[in-house]
Every structure is written in C-alpha cells, then in structure tokens.
Amino acid sequence: MADLRHRRIAQLIAPYRVEAGRRVRLPKDFPTDAPGKFGKADAKHAKEVLESSVSLLAEYQERLAAQDTYGVLVILQAIDAAGKDGTVRHVMSGVNPQGVEVSSFKVPSAEEQDHDYLWRYARRLPSRGSIGIFNRSYYEEVLVVRVHPEFLAAERLPPASKRGDVWRRRYREINDWERYLTDQGFRIVKLFLHVSRDEQRRRFLDRIEEPEKNWKFSAADVKERARWDDYQKAFSDMLSHTSTAWAPWYVVPADDKPYARLIAAGAIAHALVEINPRYPTVGEEARAALEEARDELLAEGHDRAGTDAGGEPDAGGEPDAGAASADPPSGGREHGRHHDKGSGKRRGRHSQQH
Ligand code: ATP
Ligand code: MG
C-alpha cells in the first residue's frame, strides 16, 4: 500500500525536479500551472492525492521521531503571494506539531548582521527526529541580497569576500554546507514555488478587493514586483547552481494552489520514504524487562479486581475499569495504556474511556 502510494508520488514530482548541473531559465523552463488533468476542474482528484501524501507524511514523521537519527529540513522559496504560508498550513496539516518547527526569515536584525550570513539559519536547523520548515531561508542571501545590493553592503563583509563573483562563492558555500548537513543525517527538501506574473497580479488585486485579505496586502510587495525580471534571473541562477545530487530543487507550479500543495507534500513525503526511518527494535534484555513489567501490572489488575469489585477477575475486564477509577488520575491512565499493549481487544474500550 505504502509502496503504491510512494510510486505514485515519485512519478508525480519527477518532472519538477531540477537535475544537478541543469541550466534553468525561468519562467519558460518550468510550468507555473497544473497540467490539464489536475487543473482547477479536477480539484477533487488533487485533494485525494494530497490526503494520501499527508497521511504518508504523518506516518513517516512518527517513525522519524521514534528512530531519532535523521532530520528533515524543508526550504520554501518564492516571490510574494506565491503561497508559501498556505503550503505550510496544508502540507503539515496531518503531522504531529511537536515534531515540526517553522521558522520565517525577514530582513536580518542588527544582531544577525553582526555574524556570518549562515549564522541565523544554522540556529534554526531541525534536530534529529524532527522536521524543520524554513519559510524563506539562506537562499535569500543570493536572491533579495542580489537584487538589492544595499543588503550586501549592510553585511559589512571584509574586502576579500566582496572580490570576484560573490554569488558563485555563495552557491559553493551553500552547496558545501548542505552536503555537510546531509552527511550528518539531515535531508534537505528544497521547494521553489513558481508563480506567473499574471497570477501574482490577480492575487495582489484580491488582497486589495477582499476585505478579509486586506491585512495580507503590502504596498512594498507591489514595488518589489517592478523587479520581476531581476528576481526571475536570480531564481534561475540559484536553481542552476544549487540543485545538487544530495539536495535537489523542485520547481513547484504555483498558479493552481491545490496542485502546488500536492507537489510540495509529495516532495516531502518522497524524502521521508527514502530515509525510511524505522521504529527502534527492542533488544532481548529490554524485551525481558517489558514482559516482567507487564506481568507485574497484570497481577496488580487482578489483585485490585479482587479487592475492589469483590471477585470475578476474569469476567471480561469489567473489574479493570473499577481498578482504573480507584487509582489517582495519572496512575489510572498509565494503567490503562500498559494494558492496551497486552490486549488488542481491550484497546478499543480503554481508548474510549480516556
Ligand atoms: P508574507 O507572506 O507574510 O508577506 P513574507 O515572507 O513575505 O511573508 P514579510 O515580512 O512580508 O514576510 O517579508 C520578509 C522580507 O524579508 C522579504 O521582503 C524578504 O525579501 C526579506 N528578507 C528575508 N531574508 C532577507 C535577507 N537575508 N536580507 C534581506 N532581506 C531579507
Ligand atoms: Mg511579504
């Protein structure tokens, strides 16, 4: 079942991966819209496949956390109004919030500018067993900083770091850093949301015209739109130089929101399936300790049943309920949970109770 889902997802996302060394020119090299069969008319189908990816994500995230060896870093880059926030919301809708941390990066603070350019991102990296999402990332250092040289000036680099091709050097540094992180067990999933100029215009207009979207509108975004071509060039160069075998970029068509979410969820699910995290297996000694604990707990149940309910310890588990309610609240709950492991039949009843 998981295999079939995985095969479908792998097929779906393959056309959007940037192969290492490929020279990309945007906007023309990748579509911004969904292919016909997934177009707005077939949102229902997209929704079904998205649900399947989201459930796969939830399943694998649990294993990732249990194994506690690998981590996943998801990077979202896009021009304004391409749908980064909505993507995060939908894609992570099914996962345990304890295992995910979202970090959004804005114009650097004075403290951040006092450090090397990767510093603030390094501080927000996910730990083993968890998923980190970067809403904007160190790639801004070769995007907005490239389009607006005043940001580079504010970084107060020594002369040697400004000589030669600053951007090529940064691509190399980023590639090396990502390789290092990958070697350390952190898988990096890079998603570039590719939206068309027309669609951005429509979304800005919506933000102005619909009162409940007014808060999202920023006049600065429209000003930034005037630099559209500069951004497309910076995106193209970034994709051409930083899509690597260990951390490839996906250019996600972002004009159709359900489809964009589908591809984004698919790329993350694909990475998790490739990591294939496994639940730790219990060694012989630990297994013996578990058995012993179970026997002890079961015996306790029988004893209590005897005292509390006045006998019939084998009468279908009813006395257990009495035992649980006689315990202090937390003790009672623990009691039930351990019992669940021992008896599949009892699980349903206990989980209904709690
Ligand atoms: P929203 O969807 O809420 O608008 P956003 O990510 O656009 O989300 P904003 O607060 O509007 O958030 O904008 C953040 C701004 O910070 C962007 O214009 C981005 O280009 C800028 N920024 C991010 N990283 C850097 C950086 N390293 N140097 C300079 N500017 C940066
Ligand atoms: Mg913004």
Section 85-99 average pLDDT: 92
| Residues 217 and 256 reside in one and the same domain | yes
Q: Mean pLDDT of all residues in the chain?
A: 86
* Best mutation site among 109, 136, 217 for ligand 1 pocket (most ligand atoms within 8 Å of CB): 136
Q: Is 207 in the pocket of ligand 1 (CB under 6 A)?
A: no
325 has pLDDT over 60: no
Position 340 in a domain: no
C-alpha Rg value of the chain to the nearest Å: 26
Verify that 77 and 23 share a domain, yes or no: yes
Q: What is the pLDDT of residue 43?
A: 67
- Which residue among 77, 79, 106, 145 has the greatest number of ligand 1 atoms within 8 angstroms of its CB, and so is best to mutate? 106
Close Cβ partners of 266 (under 8 Å, ≥ 6 residues apart): 9, 12, 13, 49, 53
User: Does the pLDDT at position 2 exceed 50?
Assistant: yes
- Between CA 337 and CA 350 the distance in angstroms is 8
Q: Measured from the CB, is residue 107 less than 6 Å from ligand 1?
A: yes
Separation in Å, CA 271 to CA 36, 49, 64, 207, 268: 26, 17, 11, 34, 5
- How remote is the CA of residue 305 from the centroid of ligand 1, in Å? 62
CB of 105 sitting under 6 A from ligand 1 = yes
Number of CB atoms found within 10 A of residue 178's CB: 20
* Rounded distance from Cα 137 to ligand 1 centre (Å): 10
For residue 348, the model assigns a pLDDT of 32
State whether 43 and 134 are in the same domain: yes
Nearest CA to ligand 1 atom 19: 106
139 CA from centroid of ligand 2 (Å)? 16
Residue 350 within any structural domain of the chain: no
Q: How confident is the model at residue 40 (pLDDT cuts 50, 70, 90)?
A: low
CA pair distance 213, 159, nearest whole angstrom = 45
Q: Is the CB of 298 under 6 A from ligand 1?
A: no
Q: How far is the CA of 106 from the centre of ligand 1 (A)?
A: 4
pLDDT at 49: 76
Whole-number pLDDT of residue 302: 75
**Which of 75, 119, 140 has most ligand 1 atoms within 8 Å of its beta carbon, as the pocket-test mutant?**
140
Same domain, 252 and 307: no
Tens of pLDDT, residue by residue over 128-162, are 999 999 999 999 999 999 999 999 999 999 998 88
Q: Are residues 195 and 298 in the same domain?
A: no
CA 153 to ligand 2 centroid distance, Å: 22
The yes-or-no verdict on residue 198 having pLDDT over 70 is yes
Look at residues 247, 275, 303 and tell me which one is the last residue of a structural domain: 275
In a domain, 152, yes or no: yes
User: Within a domain: residue 351?
Assistant: no
Residue 297 lies in domain: 283-311
CA distance 274 to 296: 40
Residues 102, 232 share a domain: yes
pLDDT at position 162? 86
Question: What pLDDT, on the 0 to 100 scale, is given for residue 53?
Answer: 85
CA dihedral in degrees (187, 193, 172, 101; nearest 10)? -40
Residue 323 confidence (pLDDT): 37
pLDDT of 47 reads 74
For residue 77, give the nearest of 239, 227, 246 by alpha carbon. Answer: 239
Tell whether 45 and 149 lie within a shared domain. yes
pLDDT average, residue stretch 24-34 = 97
38 band by pLDDT with thresholds 50, 70 and 90: low
User: What pTM did the predictor assign?
Assistant: 0.83
Domain membership flag for residue 330: no
Q: How many domains does the chain have?
A: 2
Whether 305 and 208 share a structural domain: no
Rounding to the nearest 10 degrees, give the CA dihedral for residues 224, 230, 231, 236: 170
Residues 85 and 178 in one domain: yes
What are phi and psi for residue 253, nearest 5 degrees?
-65, 125
Q: Which of 57-71, 166-180, 215-229, 321-335 has the lowest mean pLDDT?
A: 321-335
Residues 250 and 108 in one domain: yes
Joined tokens for residue 241: 């130089």
Residues 236, 158 share a domain: yes
Mean pLDDT of 298-320: 57
Angle at 168 between CA 165 and CA 172, to 5 degrees: 140
Please report, for the domain that includes residue 175, its CATH number: 3.40.50.300
Q: What ligand is nearest to the CA atom of residue 87?
A: 1
For ligand 2, the distance from its centroid to the CA atom of residue 130, given in whole angstroms, is 27
- Please give the Cα distance from 215 to 236 (Å, whole number): 31
**238 with 154, same domain?**
yes
